[in-house]
Amino acid sequence: MERAVMKITLLCLLLALVASLPNKDDWDIYSFHINSTVTSRYAVTTITSRVVNRMDESKEIEFHVRIPKNAFISKFKMLIDGQEYDGIVKAKEQAQQQYTEAVSRGQSAGIVSSVGRTLEEFKTSVTIASHKKVTFELTYEELLKRKLGKYELQIHARPMQPVKDFKVDVYINERAGINFIEVQGGLSTKDLANAITKTHADKQASVSFYPTVDQQKTCDACGNDGLNGDLVIVYDVNRDSSLGHIKKSDGYFVHHFAPTGLPRIPKNVVFVIDQSGSMHGRKIQQTRTALIHILNDLAEEDYFGLISFDSQIFHWKRELVQATKANLEGAKVFARNIVDRGATDINAAVLQGAQMLNAQTREGSASILILLTDGDPTTGVTNLEKIQSNVKKAIAGKFPLHCLGFGFDVNFEFLEKMALQNHGMARRIYEDSDADLQLQGFYEEVATPLLTDVTMIYIGGTNVTQTNFSQYYNGSEIVVAGQITDNNIETFTPQVLAFSNNREIVFSDTNEATESSGAVSDSHIQRVWAYLTVKQLLEKELQSSGAERENVKNEALRLSLKYSFVTPLTSMVVTKPLGETTDVLHKPKEGANPSQWQPPLQYSPPGQPGLQGVPGGYGIPGPPMALPGILYRMPTRGIGAVPHPGFGGVATKVLQSKDLQMGQSFGPADYDIPAFFPTFTVPVMVTPPQIPLPHRFLLKTADQSPPLCFDISGILSLKLFHHPNSVFKQRISALSMHRPLLTHLFFFVLELTVNGELDAVNNGGFRRIGIHLNNDHYIEVYPKEIITQQGHTVEIHSGQDLLTFGSATVIRRDKEINITVGDTRLVILIHDEGGEELLWPVLRQRPSDTNVTGVLALQPAVYEVVQQTPSAKLKINNQEFDVTRSNAVDYTVVPSVIVSCWLTSAESALQRSLNDFIVTQL
């Protein structure tokens, strides 16, 4: 059988479809169609893939789809031997049992997961008999968002083989009239130009893409595996009426408001830039580059301010200044000298920015506050709800706060909530070579305010989506949908009130703006209303609490089920022929991190050599690589826990948290502990397991292709991270007889060691994690409490207050514990699996020094897929290994998610022994 070598690469594409093909001799995709119909900016896209099994035996056929994060899947079905199998949308809790059962059997769970910047990937599979066919059909819906004066519909195809019947058809119907339409993207290059047909006639346009089999092999983005690229349909509509375009039918309306010809409003803008240690390297360089470009774009009538922050606040000027040439040059010098260092005081920085804007009283101007950060608050006020409350009070609804989260270490949900509370937007900036362009692109979206305090009024309307907007920007669009009271179109009257340069404007040209359509369009407008309503209810749920939040959630769930939208509150149960796994499709939240990895551990059964030949020893993996080491484990069922001695021995009395008051100190005299013990531990003595516990680990690849996974057995303690020369900075003030109070920056070098003890419970992770700072400070983390020890003095902490201990800063939140030591930041996530709490460590900030070791210091694996039938093989370091497709749990995000992986042996995945990272004591 022909061997195909396929390099696994990351596809950071805005919209992608993948109908995966293990080997072209097994499957034949004989028809592949993408059909997208856009009506009044609302796109309904259907992907149809027809596949035949050409083997003389049954084969598992996979179907992969990547869709925009902004879209809702609304329909999925399979057609096999004339029998139709439909996906059914249910409340997530109702579908969870089927999902859990599938995972427990090691079977595919059909999960949607984030891929790249704007994608979510769904996959499912079905077994097809010899020489039989299957048709997959998936539909998703999205409201196109206008940015910088245009709408974009992205379609990407990667069918993994040339397809004889390959078609992409896009139809656009806009009653307002289409101003222009263009076709862009990798599949519109000269090699494929004659495969594209574009038509444009007033209110309608179409784009067809029908490449031949030869074209699918020879274009720039093609090869033996067929097409691999995207089409981007770019267009805008005519805007003849200042009120915009209102479309209504029996019972519902949708209003698109984007007036033109308005003068720009001078703006007051303050940039609040994170310069903490985690911004080290390319991030801070790209931030400086973007900031300088943005300063060049300021108009002379604009006023601006610059603040950078770590644990301190640094102003370029204490007040806003006009964007004159001289001031801009001075600001650029400040921007070029922003240097990464220190901790992260988000609260103080944003409050300073708000204070600068509040002090500006220019009439006829619009104020904007922009925050850029890459991490959580680690100093000053660190309670997230308190920060949000402080910021909301300081801004008081007077101007928007836009929050930019750099990378995946940031708590995006925290930023999103804070932005929504203050009428702003939250955007993730991806760590890539174009991060500076992403920053500039966002600024361009908000750089030109045209209206402020926009109020949309609909007399005779009810159940209307958001109607108040703090600002309207050039090139954007405001969209409102609602129901018409008693279906009385005659009494329905729209009106818009807004301010431009301190002058009130009323938009009410109803004769030209409004049109009615027949019942044939009623379903479309109703679905636009449902889509917008669900989107905004999900945002409102994020901002609410208590009974209000529950009511909002219930209404969003009701509408999601009624209109069959797969949202974060619902799941689609994918039905299959009798005897096959029922897949459950979930939609992830934007805050979820992309999967990354770190290693596994191994147990040597009694009588077999373990660490250094000790019978019954333990070992842990890991090539001595370097990159954020992040662990994944497959939940397993087990009993008992191996007792662990402390550093030198075991206390004869087990300490329970109920024995002490919070913050109580105690020493050797309180318990029967030899005085020479350098540390104190709190072991829990339980019956050892009778059999080794199985665990599954993931080793993530550098390019986000499917990770490797492997099974090991046993429970043990392991070295998570060791940095022998961690640099800790501290400012110390001193008085002198001849000088005023002086502040000096001192640098201290310390040794940082982090170890973890695995638990032995169902859905296990780590029972406790120990952190050593040199030899004189020790921190032990449990799910419900943190124990600190200096010498023989031990304290227990169970609250969520900021804790400073030696050179470490510890912040406990609801589901995570943040620990910062110098330029290293560790986040310990807390998971609740089946009523049992477990810990999982994630290295969020690496030290600049590369002299680090341990599980969290490992780099990802690199491999090639060299064969997929009759059995799969991967090539790792020029050696081929047998693998199979399987699943594992990713504990580096809360809640945990299931990821697909290549299952192989530990030795094959890690390319070395597992005995290098074991520790005999925590």
669: pLDDT confidence band, cut at 50, 70 and 90? very low
At 815, list the tokens.
């589901």
Q: What is the mean pLDDT of residues 369-387?
A: 90
Is the pLDDT reported for residue 513 higher than 90? no
Determine the pLDDT at residue 634.
Answer: 33
CB 156 within 8 A of CB 13: yes
Between CA 922 and CA 910 the distance in angstroms is 24
- Closest CA relative to residue 779, chosen from 765, 766, 796: 796
Distance CA 218, CA 205 (A): 29
> What's the pLDDT band for 821 if we cut at 50, 70, 90?
confident
Q: Which of 31-45, 150-164, 698-712, 827-841 has the highest mean pLDDT?
A: 31-45
Q: How far apart are CA 380 and CA 390, in angstroms?
A: 13
pLDDT in tens, 240-268: 768 889 988 878 999 999 998 899 999 99
Q: What angle do CA 678, 681, 686 make, to 5 degrees?
A: 145
Distance CA 528, CA 41 (A): 10
In this prediction, residue 258 carries a pLDDT of: 94
Inform me whether the pLDDT recorded for 473 exceeds 80. Answer: yes
Mutual angle of helices 435-446 and 282-297, in 10-degree steps: 30
Give the pair of three-digit tokens for residue 328: 């801009």
Residue 856 has pLDDT above 50, yes or no: yes
Which residue is listed with tokens 């362009």? 437
- DSSP-derived 3-state class of residue 627: coil
pLDDT tens profile 100-109? 665 555 444 4
Residue predicted with more confidence, 638 or 71: 71
pLDDT at 804: 84
Rounded Cα–Cα distance for residues 293 and 278 (Å): 23
Helices and strands in the chain: count of H runs, count of E runs: 12, 56
Q: Chain-centre distance of CA 560, in angstroms?
A: 22
pLDDT at 230 over 50: yes
Number of neighbouring beta carbons within 10 Å of residue 94: 12
| Summary mean pLDDT of the chain | 78
Is 163 within 8 Å of 30 (Cβ atoms)?
yes
Q: Which of 6-10, 179-183, 512-516 has the lowest mean pLDDT?
A: 6-10
DSSP β-bridge partners for residue 570? 91
What pLDDT score does 22 carry? 42
Coil, strand or helix: which one is 788? strand
* DSSP string across 416-452: HHHHHHTT--EEEEPSSTTHHHHHHHHHHHHS-EEEE
pLDDT at 1 over 60: no
- Range of lowest pLDDT (86-90, 288-292, 629-633): 629-633
Least Cα distance to 44 among 121, 174, 139, 122 occurs for: 139
Query: Tell me, what's the pLDDT at 600?
Result: 32
Interval 31-51: pLDDT, tens:
999 999 999 999 999 999 999
pLDDT band at 496 (very low <50, low <70, confident <90, very high): very high
**Whether 726 contacts 752, CB under 8 Å:** yes
Higher pLDDT, 598 or 579: 579
**Whether the Cβ atoms of residue 590 and residue 69 lie closer than 8 Å to each other:** yes
Mean local confidence (pLDDT), 705-728: 77
Which are the contacts of 719, defined by CB distance < 8 A and separation ≥ 6?
A: 620, 753, 754, 755, 853, 854, 855, 917, 918, 919
With the C-alpha atoms ordered 315, 321, 326, 328, is the resulting torsion angle positive or negative? positive
DSSP assignments along 562-600, one per residue: HTT-B-TTEEEEE--STTSPPEEEE---TTPPPP-----
The pLDDT tens digits of the residues spanning 779-810 come to 999 888 888 888 778 888 877 667 888 888 88
Instruction: Say whether the peptide bond before residue 895 is cis (omega within 30 degrees of 0).
Output: yes
Q: How close are the terminal C-alpha atoms of the chain, in Å?
A: 52
pLDDT given for residue 626 in this prediction: 30
- Who has greater pLDDT, 160 or 608? 160
Lowest mean pLDDT among 136-150, 686-700, 841-855: 686-700
For residue 782, what is the DSSP state? Answer: -
Task: Name, in order, each residue with C-beta under 8 angstroms of 221's C-beta and a sequence gap of 6 or more.
Answer: 186, 187, 189, 227, 228, 229
CA distances from 386 to 148, 372, 420 (A): 35, 19, 16
Under the banding of pLDDT at 50, 70 and 90, the label for residue 480 is very high
pLDDT at 221: 66
Q: Which of 288, 349, 334, 339 is nearest to 848 (CA)?
A: 339
Question: Are the C-beta atoms of residues 213 and 162 closer than 8 Å to each other?
Answer: yes
**Average pLDDT estimate for 678-690:** 36
pLDDT (tens digit per residue) in 121-141? 777 778 888 888 999 999 999
Residue entry with tokens 């995000």 = 893
Whole-number Å distance between alpha carbons of 754 and 853: 10
Task: Name the more confident of 207 and 1.
Answer: 207
Which has the closest alpha carbon to 638: 686, 579, 568, 583? 686
Per DSSP, the three-state class of 353 is helix
Q: Which residue has the higher pLDDT, 611 or 891?
A: 891
What's the confidence (pLDDT) of residue 400? Answer: 95
pLDDT at 775 over 80: no
Per-residue model confidence (pLDDT) at position 728: 54
Q: Across residues 419-447, what is the average pLDDT?
A: 89
Query: Judging by beta carbons within 10 Å of its beta carbon (0-12, 13-18, 19+), is residue 732 exposed, middle or buried?
Result: exposed
pLDDT-derived band at 465 (thresholds 50, 70, 90) equals: very high
Say whether pLDDT at 638 is over 50: no
Query: What average pLDDT does range 338-360 have in this prediction?
Result: 92
Q: Residue 700: what pLDDT?
A: 80
Give the model's pLDDT for residue 586: 67
The secondary structure of the chain in percent helix, strand, coil, rounded to multiples of 5, reads 20, 40, 40
Higher pLDDT, 303 or 860: 303
Strands (E), 702-852: 708-713, 717-734, 742-758, 766-773, 777-781, 786-790, 793-797, 802-805, 808-812, 816-821, 824-833, 836-845
Residue 173 tokens read as: 């119907």
Closest of 732, 769, 768, 777 to residue 750, by C-alpha? 777
Kindly state the percentage of the chain with pLDDT values over 70. Answer: 76
